[in-house]
Structure 1
Amino acid sequence: MSLLRQLATAVDGGVAVASATVVDTSRSVPRRAGAKMLVFRDGTISGTVGGGEMEARVVSEAVAALADGRCRLLSYRLVDPGRGDPGVCGGDVQIFVEPHMPKPTVIVMGYGHVGRAVAQLAGWLGFRVVATDDRPMVDGDSPEGPDPGVPGGDAGDGAPDELVIGSVDDLLEGRTLDQDVSVVLVTRNVDVDAAALPALLATGAGYVGVMGSERRWTTTRARLEADGVDPAALDRVHAPIGIEMGAETPEEIALSIMAEVVAHRRT
């Protein structure tokens, strides 16, 4: 598989990766302009920009770029290791490092009327959307039947990137939730929330919010604490979810929820 195809596959699959490209050289160097390498968060690589100490330094810079999201233009002189040069080829090389970050993800648990509105709005805002429900779909659309779609759009607009029918265990199988993942619980009752939250709070998700009244959250929290869930973990939960704006319709509630998700990410 070509490096460009590997890059596209990684980003489409939600994996952060940095590209390192030789952009300029002079005299004797191990690789010429155009040579590329991909670097992943754990330091694994595909391709090469020349190997040796120079490449090790590029890998370190690429991992740092994945952490801070900033591009880098690196310059190396390969003359005298005694002066700290990463090689003895005798030339100079410039390497451009660019982080390619996947879309932030919103996981919508509960794909009813509100869940579908959240999924549509999150997709429009540029998030990768994973929707999940333990109930079967009606007409392949939603557990609660077809919705008319977002205002100004056709029914079916804003379908999630991924739809998981099953439990929270099915959702989390083989999936890593990190700071770029926001989990929105808009489920039908306390039982579903209480079953899902312990596993979700054990992940590194950057945001976890639960829809419902203050009373519903008080009931849910009391049940979870009685089951031994750490109160400090429960303090991470945004509940009731969303900013206060007097929302009533599914679309208004979705706006309230996504406003809070975006604000949490930006602050």
Structure 2
Amino acid sequence: MRELLSALRGRLDDGTPFAVATVVGVRGSAPRRPGAAMAVTADGRVTGSVSGGCVEGAVYEAASESLGTGAAQLHTYGISDDDAFAVGLTCGGTLQILVRPYTDAQPRRALSVLLEALDRAEPVALATVIGGAAPLGAQRVIGTGHATGTCGDPGLDHAVTEDARGLLAQGMTGVQSYGAHGERRMADVSVFVQAFAPPPRMLVFGAIDHAAATARMGSFLGYRVTVCDARPAFATPERFPFADEVVRAWPHEYLAGTEVDERTVVCVLTHDPKFDIPLLRTALRTRAGYIGVMGSRRTHEDRNARLREEGVSERELARLASPIGLDLGARTPEETAVSIAAEIVRARWGGSGRPLAELTGAIHRPGRDGADPAFAQVAEAEA
């Protein structure tokens, strides 16, 4: 949804009507999670995806109809439906999709407020009525100190705002139930609350070719990427066009003074003990969700011995992904970056790293709808 809003910026500015289809519920195996979205403009242009191709044709027709009527629609597509194969949903799961037209000024203004908050990297939530005794598709945008739009009732707005801020603080997305006037422990109204936390950070240490490829992969995965190196000749923005920032500083000093949370990934590619040891000693005492270190197995053993001498515990050493990356047979910096990204994704979602062809059961692992599950080593946080 974040990328979709950026793509719709021009449509909001020039007044072009459009409808947005959003996945608000998933049961079983499905290619996209709650919050995935697709937009259809009045002139037929499509942006985004709700299913990776499975039901896009049917959703396109629903969005076109919604633009014509000006009314929101709630659709369910599943393998048990008579038209499941006609629309291509053969994966065995069920998708619940809300189609919401944006033809009037007020709802378009709410999206603009949401987009402005995202541009400022502020935490913000979008609450949408998806069923019950409130207007279908009614929306409220909730930030830490502001709220815009209405779900249809002042009491409901108050309850949704409180809960949305709680969910936002935890980085959680999900469906909340209320009475018609916001009463707790009732289920007259269903509200889908989508939380948008600032992008997670990738900190890449060591201004080498592998760092440039890793920064590019991190940007592709949605991280805010920082490349840090103490050598001015190497740490230049021109060498790292996909990094959000390039910092010239001693790595351990920079890390000690920057924000690190459970969603942060740290990639140490320096190969030099005078950088590595103080940096890793600092990194292992942060909440970073992933700490990967480049080097041979011999380098890894030597590095661990040095860290033990510095007072690092075995439990802390166990957090290191070293040598960094999954075994893909990588040779080039770009292939190595893919192996690093694969290990980060595995740590993020708890995958096995094995070929899917060798496994049985569900492909998509269960988790909180729309939220980013725990990095295996630390606490849970949303992406």
TM-score by length of 2: 0.51
Q: 2:223, 2:146 → 1: CA distance?
A: 27
* Correspondence list, 1:30-179, <5 A: 36-39=140-143, 44-47=144-147, 55-56=158-159, 58-64=161-167, 67=170, 69-72=172-175, 74-78=177-181, 96-138=192-234, 140-141=236-237, 158-167=241-250, 168-173=252-257, 175-179=258-262
Secondary structure in structure 2 of the residue aligned to 1:195: helix
Is the contact between residue 21 and residue 97 of structure 1 (CA under 8 Å) also seen in structure 2? yes
Q: 1:242, 1:75 → 2: CA distance?
A: 45
Q: 2:139, 2:162 → 1: CA distance?
A: 14
Aligned to 1:250: 333
Name the structure, 1 or 2, with higher relative contact order (CA <8 Å, separation 6+).
1
How many residues are aligned here?
Answer: 235
TM-score by length of 1: 0.70
Is the contact between residue 65 and residue 72 of structure 1 (CA under 8 Å) also seen in structure 2? no
Q: Deviations over 1:118-155 (max 9, x none)?
A: 1112223333322111111459357xxx5xxxxxxxxx
1:26: Cα distance to partner?
A: 8.2
1:104: Cα distance to partner?
A: 3.5
Aligned to 1:17: 124
CA RMSD in angstroms comes to 3.7
Secondary structure in structure 2 of the residue aligned to 1:221: helix
Aligned to 2:305: 222
Relative distance call for 1:95 and 1:160 in structure 2 (3 A) is same
Which range moved further: 110-119 or 160-169? 160-169
Q: 1:246, 1:22 → 2: CA distance?
A: 48
Q: 2:349, 2:145 → 1: CA distance?
A: 31
Q: Deviations over 1:204-244 (max 9, x none)?
A: 11100100011111111111111112221111011111112
Unpaired segments of 5 or more residues in structure 2?
A: 1-108, 351-383
Question: Identity across aligned pairs (percent)?
Answer: 31
Aligned to 1:265: 348
